[in-house]
A = this chain, B = another copy of it.
Amino acid sequence: MTRIAVIPGDGIGTEVITEARKVLDVALPGHEATEYDLGAARYHRTGEILPGSVQDEIDGHDAILLGAVGDPTVPPGVLERGLLLKLRFDFDQYVNLRPSRLWPGTNGPLADVKPGEIDLVVVREGTEGLYAGAGGSLHRGSPAEIATEESLNTRYGTERVIRDAFQRALRRDRRHVTCVHKANVLSHAGDLWRRCFEEVAAEFPDVTTEYQHVDAAAMYLVTRPQDFDVIVTDNLFGDILTDIAAAVTGGIGLAASGCVNPDHSHPSMFEPVHGSAPDIAGRGVADPVAAILSTSMLLEHLGHGEAATAVGRAVADELAGRTPGESRNTSAVGDRVAARVSELLG
């Protein structure tokens, strides 16, 4: 039996997870879901972020579905480092997978790009780089203060995420991988990334390749996002580029993501890219589509390809039927998509 750990989290996280679970119920009947109360609310109530025993329990599951954690009342970094990044690192989720599509029926901000024309995926490294937490400071608060941050990159970590990107490209129509770094300035890490990229590329003669500096890639994501297929990049560049990709495809409201451990040695985690949005929480107006699409990625990862495709199609139908600008009811969207999934699978 498939066991899913569910972390609804804070704010609209809990609302969109309710809808994602409706969809999961029809797409994967008979799974067992256990909810874990983690995030800002628990932190304020008990001071706990991620107790070791809870982490061990979660580790016993097949996958994690997360809503959103966080609140402006929690100091920056506490939940990020203590919960989100801890799970990514401890569970070796080295592929941070972020697809972006300009769905038919939706409106992007770019005048010359039509729905259907953007379909890219960013394979962001998830366990290295500037996210390693290496750094420090001296003489804090004095005029002599210094602060450092260190980007740590291994051939092991670089090669495996690049190989994953090529494998994903093989399963796509265009079979093109763009490697993004800043090799002209970050000469050591950039050199490692470029050499790994060239070496792995040689194993995939059917995949075409390209290298771009991160500043150029950021610009091209705005001026010609249609040209991208798979982008592979480091942890921090991936953080920035995926938000640009989300912006040109209509905002993070629709963006799904997976923190994937492709080796299945620990559970992978799937979550909407949006945050807990305390400003609109509790009003039943959050769009659950990103959480539902994350559920589709979860199904795909666990080998339930047919169910994943059905969820994807149901979302496409939902979006195609929308009138831009119209306000939506969170629960009605979940009901509609779940009903359509059960039709498609029935």
Contacts and interface: CB of A to CB of B under 8 A. Distances in A.
A81 interface: yes
Nearest to A85: B185
A285 interface: no
A223 B247 contact: yes
A218 B273 CA distance: 14
B222 A239 contact: no
A218 B192 CA distance: 26
Q: How large is the interface on A (under 10, 10 to 19, 20 to 34, 35 or more residues)?
A: 35 or more
In the complex, which of the residues A143, A145, A191 has the most CB atoms of chain B within 10 Å of its own CB atom?
A145
A154 B145 contact: yes
A153 B143 contact: no
Contacts of A236: 182, 185
B186 A130 contact: yes
Contacts of A151: 130, 135, 148-151
A242 B223 CA distance: 14
A186 B149 contact: yes
Interface of A: 76-77, 80-81, 85, 109-112, 130-131, 133, 135-137, 139, 141-156, 182-192, 195, 214-216, 218-219, 222-223, 236, 239-240, 242-244, 246-248, 251-252
